[in-house]
Structure formats: structure tokens, C-alpha cells
Structure 1
């Protein structure tokens, strides 16, 4: 007798449905892509570095020749012939101190002693055209140098310096340097301090005290400019 297989549907009370485990979506990994630069950027940086190096080299080569002191370039352009002497002890460099040919040098200044005569105003203009001014005397050593130069030149008798009075007895230098009575070199009995003598000249004598107040008429002159260094 063939056996029969019976299927039955069985339900269990209080059975909970199968737990559903929720799996969080896979976290996306952040991919780190290298930052991209323009292909020409390294070339630009290299070019800039090269230009900086060239600029530094040029500055080092030009610097020794660029010393001009306080002297305007116009003076160097005006004169084509110069007389230079070493400004430093031998073996310590190639710095030179130069004055236009025909000018006299003392310390850091150049002096032009004229061989012609002009009134005061024209004398001022003449020095200005040469990028200089009527001499301003600041020390006894400078005064002694000029006295010796005038004694040797034997060209004129009286030479304008850059000292003048706008009011009788009130002396002023052309560059506004304060007038110092204790550093003045007046001849004995000078200045006269009269209205007709408002300009100052150096009288060519061996005495270091050789300033006279004089009429502002035609006299020789002394111009001064800063020496050019190179």
C-alpha cells in the first residue's frame, strides 16, 4: 500500500517576522586627486629666478661706478675732461675723486678761480651755469687753501665769495649756511658795514684774514662744486 505524504501548513504563535538587517550604503571613499597646474608654470618660475639673478649681477657690477656723491649728473655732462686722484689708500679699492680740468680740488670740493671779472649777479649766474655756486667757506683749512691758491694765481686782486648782506651788517651765505662771526676771516678794520658795500671778496694777500666788504661791481670770482667720485 503506497504511503501518502501529507503537507500541513503550521503557524507558530508569537513568532516575530524575520529581522531585516539594514546595511548602510557603502561609504564612498573620497578620492584625492592631485592638484593640476598649468604646464607652463615651472617655466615661468624658472624665468623669474633667472631675471632676478641677472638683476643682482648687474647691480654688483654697476655699484662701484655709481658713486656720485651729492653732485648732480649735469656737472658730469657739462665737462668732458676731468682730473682724478685716488680717494682711498693704495691697494684698498679703485675709488676716485674727480674735478673738471682747470678746477682746483680741496678735500671733497672743486674750485674754479676765474680769470675774468663780473658784477655780483652775473657771477652768481655764471657759477650756476657750471652747476656750482659762489664758494661757501666752512673752515679755517678751506680758507687757508683758497688764500694760497689766490696768492699763486696772480690774476686778480679781489674775488667774490658767496657771502652778501641784504641789510647792512647782516651777512648771509648763498646756500643759507648760518653765518658764524667766530669763523669769519675779515681783514683788520673790516667789514665797513656801509650801504654801498654789501658784497664780500677775498683780497689776494698772504694773510689768512683777507675778507673785505665791497661794492657789488665787477670782480673775479671763486665757484665751488662737490667733487665727483667714481
Structure 2
């Protein structure tokens, strides 16, 4: 008789359980708290915005009138009282055209007619000292304006029958030149009949006071005192 084979499950007490596989430890996320700003920060931002607005107003309104970004002209440095109007030449950005008080404006220039007399060189120096020059006449309209102006001043101030120096000089015999080097154009001159004369010592030019017509230029000796007409570019603001 064949013997039976019996199977039995044997458990050992000292057998240790299989180690559990552990994953990496979970990192704990820090708690997020709303960021806190100082209480004075909104006030600081508001103050900065206000300052920016003030600077913009100064740049847009004040600077153009003060010409703080540009060097003031010699004329501006000499005079503190000005007369302005809104008749602005075309092509300019400014809103006012200004001349020193007592000067007369025509187009883009300011003119000063003196009430005292000086010699030719002294007249040129006097105009330069005011930031201007003896007048340079370049058109019939300008000649007409100045002729009427000098006749009116003669009547209003009861000036003597003297003449007005202008900025035209005889550099060499028969070679006339304007004080600002503007080319001399014979077709745009206003000499009296028979002028300029052939005298070697008459190398300065005046507007003849008694002459009523536009052709009133006369060459004279430089050492004779006369009135003078100064001219400077008008200031546009």
C-alpha cells in the first residue's frame, strides 16, 4: 500500500515582512499670505503724479514764453519792457510777436527811430549796443513804411530837418554794402535824383528828411551828426 504524502504550510516566527517601498517625502507648501504695502505708498505715488503734471504744465506753457531752453537774443538782454500782438507771420509756431516798448514793428522786424543825433560810426555802435543794427532796407514796402514813419516822427516830435542814417556804406569807390553783408541790389534802391554823388568822402547813407517821395536816400560825410534808424528781428513767443 502506497504511503500518502501530506503537505503542510510552515510559518516561521522570525520571518520579517517585506519592506514597504516609500516614496520621497512630500514637501509642504508654504502658506501664501497677501502682501502688505506701507500705508504711505499710495500717497507717495499720488504726489509723484502731481509733480509730473506740474512739470508738463511748465514745459508746455511757461518755457516757450521764457525761452529758458534758448539763449536770449542781444535785444532781449537789453530791454525789460515789451509790446506784443498776435499778428504772427505765417510758418511760425509762436502766438505773439514782440518788440521793445517804444519800437515800431513791421512784418518780422522792430524799428527804433532816434530823437538825438550822432555821427555815422557812433550811430552804428549805438544800434549794436541795443542788440540791433542800422536798418537794412530790402523791399519797397519796407521803404514806404519807414518813410512814413520818419515823416510822422518829425511832425510829432518837431525834429530838426536832419536826416536818418541807415545801414548802407560805400566800402570802396562805387561799391556799396549793407551792414549785415546783404548783397547790394541796384534794382531795389531808393536814391534821390543825382545820388549817390561822386564824392570820395561821402560813404554813409541817410534817408533825407525833407524828401516826401520814396526815393529819399542820400550819401553823406560820416562826420556829420544825423538821426538813425535801428532794426532788429522781432521776438516771437
- TM-score computed with the length of structure 1 as normaliser: 0.68
CA distance in structure 2 between the partners assigned to 1:84 and 1:47 by the alignment: 37
- Paired position in structure 2 for 1:76: 79
Question: What secondary structure does 1:116 align onto?
Answer: coil
User: How far apart in 1 are the matches of 2:97 and 2:148?
Assistant: 24
Correspondences of 1:108-123 after superposition (within 5 Å): 108-123=108-123
1:86 to 1:41, Cα distance in 2 relative to 1, 3 A: closer
Aligned counterparts of 2:28 and 2:186: Cα–Cα separation in 1: 94
Map 1:1-230 to 2 at 5 A.
Answer: 10=11, 18=18, 20-29=20-29, 40-58=40-58, 62=62, 72-77=75-80, 87=87, 99-101=100-102, 103-152=103-152, 153=154, 155-192=160-197, 195-204=200-209, 205-218=211-224, 219-227=226-234
Give aligned pairs, total: 210
Residue 162 of structure 1 aligns to a residue in which SS? strand
Shift of the 30–214 alpha-carbon distance from structure 1 to 2, 3 Å rule, reads farther
Q: Deviations over 1:7-37 (max 9, x none)?
A: x9756xxx9x725413122145366666666
- Deviations for 1:74-110, whole angstroms, at most 9, x for unmatched residues? 3432xx5x6666648xxxxx95755523x44434433
Structure 1 distance, partners of 2:118, 2:61, is: 45
How far did 1:170 drift? 3.0
2 CA distance for matches of 1:26 and 1:72? Answer: 83
- Give the secondary structure class of the aligned counterpart of 2:170: strand
Q: Determine the C-alpha separation between the residues in 2 that align with 1:189 and 1:20.
A: 130
* Unmatched 5+ stretches in structure 2: 1-8, 89-94
Judged with a 3 Å threshold, the aligned counterparts in structure 2 of structure 1 residues 47 and 178 are, in CA distance, closer, same or farther, namely farther
Residues 109, 29 of structure 1: alpha-carbon distance in 2 compared, 3 angstrom cutoff: same
TM-score, scaled relative to structure 2: 0.67
> Separation in 1 of the partners of 2:35 and 2:170?
78
